Amino acid sequence: MLRILITGANGFLGTALVRKLTGFSNIEVVALVRNKDSLSLTEENVRIIEVPNYFKFTKWKNALLNVDVVIHIAGVIPGQGKENSMFNINGELTELLVSKASHYGVKRFIFLSTFSVYGKDDYASKIELSTPVECTDSYPLSKLYGELAVRTVSEKSNMEWVIVRPPMIISENSKGAFYTLAKVFAKIGFSPFGKIKNKYGYIYIDTLILFLVKASLTAKVMKSTFLVSEKEDVSTKEIIDKISILLGGKKIKHLRIPLPILGFLAKALGGYKRYKGATRNLPIDSSLAWDVIESS
Protein backbone atom coordinates (compact mmCIF):
# COMPACT_ATOMS: atom_id res chain seq x y z
CA MET A 1 0.00 0.00 0.00
CA LEU A 2 1.42 3.37 -1.08
CA ARG A 3 0.64 6.24 1.28
CA ILE A 4 0.43 9.74 -0.27
CA LEU A 5 -0.05 12.94 1.73
CA ILE A 6 -1.57 15.96 -0.01
CA THR A 7 -1.54 19.51 1.34
CA GLY A 8 -4.16 21.98 0.18
CA ALA A 9 -6.51 19.05 -0.30
CA ASN A 10 -9.58 21.28 -0.08
CA GLY A 11 -8.56 23.53 -3.01
CA PHE A 12 -9.86 22.98 -6.54
CA LEU A 13 -6.74 21.05 -7.60
CA GLY A 14 -6.21 19.27 -4.30
CA THR A 15 -9.81 18.05 -4.12
CA ALA A 16 -9.70 16.72 -7.68
CA LEU A 17 -6.37 14.97 -7.00
CA VAL A 18 -7.64 13.35 -3.79
CA ARG A 19 -10.72 12.03 -5.63
CA LYS A 20 -8.51 10.62 -8.39
CA LEU A 21 -6.13 8.88 -5.98
CA THR A 22 -8.92 7.34 -3.90
CA GLY A 23 -9.83 5.36 -7.01
CA PHE A 24 -6.64 3.29 -6.61
CA SER A 25 -7.06 0.30 -4.31
CA ASN A 26 -3.32 0.22 -3.58
CA ILE A 27 -3.07 3.88 -2.48
CA GLU A 28 -3.95 5.39 0.88
CA VAL A 29 -4.44 9.16 0.91
CA VAL A 30 -3.70 11.50 3.80
CA ALA A 31 -5.48 14.79 3.05
CA LEU A 32 -4.44 17.92 4.97
CA VAL A 33 -7.17 20.57 5.02
CA ARG A 34 -7.78 23.80 6.91
CA ASN A 35 -11.35 22.76 7.65
CA LYS A 36 -12.68 19.20 7.58
CA ASP A 37 -16.11 20.41 6.49
CA SER A 38 -14.59 21.72 3.24
CA LEU A 39 -13.79 18.21 1.94
CA SER A 40 -16.52 15.58 1.87
CA LEU A 41 -15.21 12.10 1.16
CA THR A 42 -16.52 8.71 2.24
CA GLU A 43 -13.88 6.46 0.68
CA GLU A 44 -12.17 4.12 3.15
CA ASN A 45 -8.67 4.79 1.79
CA VAL A 46 -8.55 8.49 2.70
CA ARG A 47 -7.68 10.01 6.07
CA ILE A 48 -8.50 13.68 6.55
CA ILE A 49 -6.43 15.74 8.98
CA GLU A 50 -7.52 19.25 9.89
CA VAL A 51 -4.68 21.79 9.98
CA PRO A 52 -6.04 25.30 10.65
CA ASN A 53 -2.50 26.69 10.92
CA TYR A 54 0.48 24.76 9.54
CA PHE A 55 2.98 26.71 11.62
CA LYS A 56 1.17 25.85 14.86
CA PHE A 57 0.50 22.24 13.91
CA THR A 58 2.18 19.80 16.34
CA LYS A 59 1.10 16.37 15.10
CA TRP A 60 3.55 16.00 12.22
CA LYS A 61 4.59 12.51 13.32
CA ASN A 62 0.97 11.35 13.16
CA ALA A 63 0.54 12.92 9.72
CA LEU A 64 3.84 11.91 8.09
CA LEU A 65 4.85 8.59 9.65
CA ASN A 66 4.95 5.85 6.99
CA VAL A 67 4.05 8.33 4.24
CA ASP A 68 5.82 7.49 0.97
CA VAL A 69 5.05 10.61 -1.07
CA VAL A 70 4.11 14.19 -0.18
CA ILE A 71 2.38 16.31 -2.85
CA HIS A 72 2.59 19.90 -1.63
CA ILE A 73 -0.16 21.95 -3.31
CA ALA A 74 -1.12 24.40 -0.55
CA GLY A 75 -0.08 27.93 -1.44
CA VAL A 76 -1.08 31.54 -1.95
CA ILE A 77 -1.64 32.92 -5.46
CA PRO A 78 -1.91 36.56 -6.62
CA GLY A 79 -5.06 38.17 -5.30
CA GLN A 80 -5.28 35.90 -2.26
CA GLY A 81 -2.82 37.61 0.04
CA LYS A 82 -0.22 40.29 0.57
CA GLU A 83 3.42 39.96 -0.39
CA ASN A 84 4.53 38.79 3.06
CA SER A 85 1.89 36.04 3.14
CA MET A 86 3.14 34.72 -0.21
CA PHE A 87 6.69 34.31 1.09
CA ASN A 88 5.33 32.96 4.37
CA ILE A 89 3.17 30.25 2.77
CA ASN A 90 4.86 29.53 -0.58
CA GLY A 91 8.37 29.77 0.83
CA GLU A 92 8.63 29.30 4.60
CA LEU A 93 5.81 26.74 4.84
CA THR A 94 7.39 24.70 2.04
CA GLU A 95 10.71 24.75 3.90
CA LEU A 96 8.99 23.63 7.10
CA LEU A 97 7.04 20.85 5.39
CA VAL A 98 9.95 19.44 3.40
CA SER A 99 12.05 19.43 6.59
CA LYS A 100 9.36 17.52 8.47
CA ALA A 101 8.94 15.11 5.56
CA SER A 102 12.67 14.45 5.49
CA HIS A 103 12.77 13.94 9.26
CA TYR A 104 9.99 11.35 9.23
CA GLY A 105 11.38 9.33 6.33
CA VAL A 106 9.20 10.39 3.39
CA LYS A 107 10.67 8.93 0.19
CA ARG A 108 9.57 11.57 -2.34
CA PHE A 109 8.47 15.21 -2.12
CA ILE A 110 6.52 16.77 -5.00
CA PHE A 111 6.20 20.56 -5.00
CA LEU A 112 3.73 22.48 -7.13
CA SER A 113 5.57 25.60 -8.27
CA THR A 114 4.56 27.91 -11.15
CA PHE A 115 5.47 28.71 -14.73
CA SER A 116 5.46 32.38 -13.69
CA VAL A 117 9.12 32.02 -12.70
CA TYR A 118 9.93 32.77 -16.36
CA GLY A 119 8.64 36.30 -15.98
CA LYS A 120 6.60 38.43 -18.34
CA ASP A 121 8.79 38.42 -21.44
CA ASP A 122 7.61 37.51 -24.93
CA TYR A 123 9.34 34.26 -25.91
CA ALA A 124 10.02 33.62 -29.60
CA SER A 125 11.08 30.01 -29.01
CA LYS A 126 9.79 27.32 -26.68
CA ILE A 127 10.66 27.65 -23.01
CA GLU A 128 12.75 24.72 -21.82
CA LEU A 129 14.28 23.71 -18.49
CA SER A 130 17.51 25.36 -19.66
CA THR A 131 15.70 28.70 -20.09
CA PRO A 132 16.85 31.03 -17.29
CA VAL A 133 14.20 32.02 -14.75
CA GLU A 134 13.55 35.74 -14.79
CA CYS A 135 10.97 37.24 -12.47
CA THR A 136 10.54 40.17 -10.10
CA ASP A 137 6.99 39.67 -8.82
CA SER A 138 6.36 38.36 -5.31
CA TYR A 139 4.42 35.26 -6.37
CA PRO A 140 7.05 33.58 -8.59
CA LEU A 141 9.85 34.71 -6.28
CA SER A 142 8.08 33.07 -3.33
CA LYS A 143 7.74 29.87 -5.35
CA LEU A 144 11.45 29.96 -6.20
CA TYR A 145 12.10 30.22 -2.46
CA GLY A 146 10.04 27.05 -2.06
CA GLU A 147 11.89 25.30 -4.89
CA LEU A 148 15.26 26.08 -3.33
CA ALA A 149 14.08 24.74 0.03
CA VAL A 150 12.86 21.51 -1.57
CA ARG A 151 16.13 20.87 -3.38
CA THR A 152 18.38 21.88 -0.48
CA VAL A 153 16.64 19.87 2.25
CA SER A 154 16.02 16.83 0.03
CA GLU A 155 19.64 16.60 -1.12
CA LYS A 156 20.85 16.59 2.49
CA SER A 157 18.63 13.63 3.35
CA ASN A 158 18.68 11.81 0.00
CA MET A 159 14.91 12.21 -0.25
CA GLU A 160 13.71 12.24 -3.87
CA TRP A 161 12.23 15.53 -5.05
CA VAL A 162 10.07 16.65 -7.95
CA ILE A 163 9.29 20.27 -8.85
CA VAL A 164 6.34 20.94 -11.15
CA ARG A 165 5.96 24.23 -13.04
CA PRO A 166 2.52 24.34 -14.65
CA PRO A 167 1.19 27.28 -16.68
CA MET A 168 -2.43 28.46 -16.48
CA ILE A 169 -4.67 25.61 -15.31
CA ILE A 170 -7.99 25.30 -17.13
CA SER A 171 -10.86 23.92 -15.08
CA GLU A 172 -14.40 24.88 -14.13
CA ASN A 173 -13.16 26.23 -10.80
CA SER A 174 -10.05 28.13 -11.92
CA LYS A 175 -9.70 31.90 -11.65
CA GLY A 176 -7.57 34.56 -13.29
CA ALA A 177 -7.38 37.14 -16.04
CA PHE A 178 -8.31 34.78 -18.87
CA TYR A 179 -11.41 33.63 -17.00
CA THR A 180 -12.49 37.23 -16.46
CA LEU A 181 -11.95 37.97 -20.15
CA ALA A 182 -13.83 34.86 -21.24
CA LYS A 183 -16.83 35.75 -19.09
CA VAL A 184 -16.89 39.34 -20.34
CA PHE A 185 -16.56 38.35 -24.01
CA ALA A 186 -19.17 35.60 -23.64
CA LYS A 187 -21.57 38.17 -22.23
CA ILE A 188 -21.07 40.73 -25.02
CA GLY A 189 -20.73 38.06 -27.72
CA PHE A 190 -17.34 38.93 -29.17
CA SER A 191 -13.65 39.59 -28.44
CA PRO A 192 -11.16 41.93 -30.19
CA PHE A 193 -8.47 39.22 -30.52
CA GLY A 194 -9.14 37.93 -34.04
CA LYS A 195 -5.80 39.19 -35.37
CA ILE A 196 -3.67 37.78 -32.56
CA LYS A 197 -1.65 34.71 -33.57
CA ASN A 198 0.45 34.12 -30.47
CA LYS A 199 1.33 30.77 -28.91
CA TYR A 200 0.48 30.29 -25.25
CA GLY A 201 1.00 27.27 -23.02
CA TYR A 202 -1.81 25.98 -20.81
CA ILE A 203 -2.88 22.78 -19.09
CA TYR A 204 -6.18 21.10 -18.34
CA ILE A 205 -6.63 20.10 -14.71
CA ASP A 206 -7.07 16.43 -15.68
CA THR A 207 -3.69 16.44 -17.46
CA LEU A 208 -1.97 17.98 -14.44
CA ILE A 209 -3.57 15.44 -12.12
CA LEU A 210 -2.47 12.61 -14.40
CA PHE A 211 1.11 13.88 -14.24
CA LEU A 212 1.03 14.19 -10.44
CA VAL A 213 -0.27 10.63 -10.14
CA LYS A 214 2.44 9.31 -12.47
CA ALA A 215 5.09 11.40 -10.66
CA SER A 216 4.05 9.67 -7.44
CA LEU A 217 4.36 6.20 -8.89
CA THR A 218 7.26 6.16 -11.37
CA ALA A 219 11.00 6.12 -10.75
CA LYS A 220 11.58 8.30 -13.85
CA VAL A 221 11.04 11.55 -11.94
CA MET A 222 13.76 11.30 -9.30
CA LYS A 223 15.26 14.71 -8.46
CA SER A 224 13.78 16.51 -11.45
CA THR A 225 12.00 19.72 -12.44
CA PHE A 226 9.21 19.48 -15.02
CA LEU A 227 7.43 21.96 -17.27
CA VAL A 228 3.95 20.47 -17.53
CA SER A 229 1.52 21.65 -20.21
CA GLU A 230 -0.66 20.38 -23.02
CA LYS A 231 1.26 19.16 -26.08
CA GLU A 232 0.08 21.98 -28.34
CA ASP A 233 0.34 25.68 -27.52
CA VAL A 234 -2.63 27.78 -28.60
CA SER A 235 -3.49 31.44 -29.22
CA THR A 236 -5.21 33.78 -26.78
CA LYS A 237 -8.48 33.56 -28.68
CA GLU A 238 -8.34 29.74 -28.58
CA ILE A 239 -7.77 29.78 -24.81
CA ILE A 240 -10.76 32.09 -24.36
CA ASP A 241 -12.87 29.74 -26.47
CA LYS A 242 -11.77 26.73 -24.42
CA ILE A 243 -12.66 28.47 -21.15
CA SER A 244 -15.98 29.72 -22.51
CA ILE A 245 -16.97 26.20 -23.58
CA LEU A 246 -15.81 24.71 -20.28
CA LEU A 247 -18.00 27.22 -18.40
CA GLY A 248 -21.03 26.14 -20.39
CA GLY A 249 -20.89 28.72 -23.15
CA LYS A 250 -19.81 28.48 -26.78
CA LYS A 251 -17.06 29.72 -29.06
CA ILE A 252 -16.84 33.50 -29.17
CA LYS A 253 -16.74 35.61 -32.33
CA HIS A 254 -13.30 37.23 -32.55
CA LEU A 255 -13.19 40.56 -34.36
CA ARG A 256 -10.10 41.10 -36.52
CA ILE A 257 -9.04 44.46 -35.12
CA PRO A 258 -5.57 45.59 -36.29
CA LEU A 259 -3.02 45.20 -33.52
CA PRO A 260 -1.85 48.86 -33.49
CA ILE A 261 -5.46 49.96 -32.91
CA LEU A 262 -5.96 47.27 -30.27
CA GLY A 263 -2.79 48.37 -28.47
CA PHE A 264 -3.86 52.01 -28.62
CA LEU A 265 -7.28 51.20 -27.15
CA ALA A 266 -5.68 49.15 -24.38
CA LYS A 267 -3.42 52.08 -23.45
CA ALA A 268 -6.32 54.54 -23.54
CA LEU A 269 -8.36 52.35 -21.22
CA GLY A 270 -5.45 51.80 -18.81
CA GLY A 271 -5.15 48.10 -19.53
CA TYR A 272 -2.02 47.92 -21.67
CA LYS A 273 -0.05 45.70 -19.27
CA ARG A 274 -2.90 43.20 -19.13
CA TYR A 275 -3.23 43.33 -22.90
CA LYS A 276 0.49 42.58 -23.36
CA GLY A 277 0.33 39.79 -20.80
CA ALA A 278 -2.66 38.16 -22.46
CA THR A 279 -1.28 38.38 -25.99
CA ARG A 280 2.41 37.58 -25.54
CA ASN A 281 4.06 34.38 -26.75
CA LEU A 282 4.62 31.77 -24.04
CA PRO A 283 5.31 28.46 -25.83
CA ILE A 284 6.37 25.52 -23.67
CA ASP A 285 8.46 22.42 -24.27
CA SER A 286 6.75 19.85 -22.03
CA SER A 287 8.14 16.78 -23.78
CA LEU A 288 9.87 15.47 -20.64
CA ALA A 289 6.62 15.66 -18.69
CA TRP A 290 4.78 13.81 -21.44
CA ASP A 291 7.39 11.05 -21.33
CA VAL A 292 6.28 10.53 -17.72
CA ILE A 293 2.55 10.84 -18.48
CA GLU A 294 2.71 8.31 -21.32
CA SER A 295 5.00 5.87 -19.53
CA SER A 296 3.54 2.45 -18.76
DSSP letters along 53-74, please? -GGG---HHHHHTT--EEEE--
pLDDT grade, residue 117 (50/70/90)? very high
Nearest-10 Cα torsion for 90, 94, 96, 98: 180
pLDDT score for 17: 95
Domain ranges of the chain: 2-170+202-228+284-293, 177-199+233-279
Cβ atoms < 10 Å from Cβ of 68: 17
In sequence order, the 6+-apart residues with CB closer than 8 A to the CB of 77 are: 139
Q: Is 45 helix (H, G, I), strand (E, B) or coil?
A: coil
Shortest CA distance to 114 belongs to which of 17, 201, 4?
A: 201
Report, as an integer, the average pLDDT of 267-275: 85
Three-state SS for 185?
Answer: helix
pLDDT digit string, tens, across residues 66-90? 999 999 999 988 877 666 788 999 9
Mean pLDDT of the chain: 90
User: Model pTM?
Assistant: 0.92
CA atoms within 13 A on the CB side of 44: 2
The CATH label, of 2.20.25.240, 3.40.50.720, 1.10.3450.40, 2.60.40.3470, for the domain at 2-170+202-228+284-293 is 3.40.50.720
- Is it the case that residue 126 has pLDDT exceeding 90? yes
Residue-wise pLDDT for 242-260, tens only, equals 988 888 877 889 999 998 8
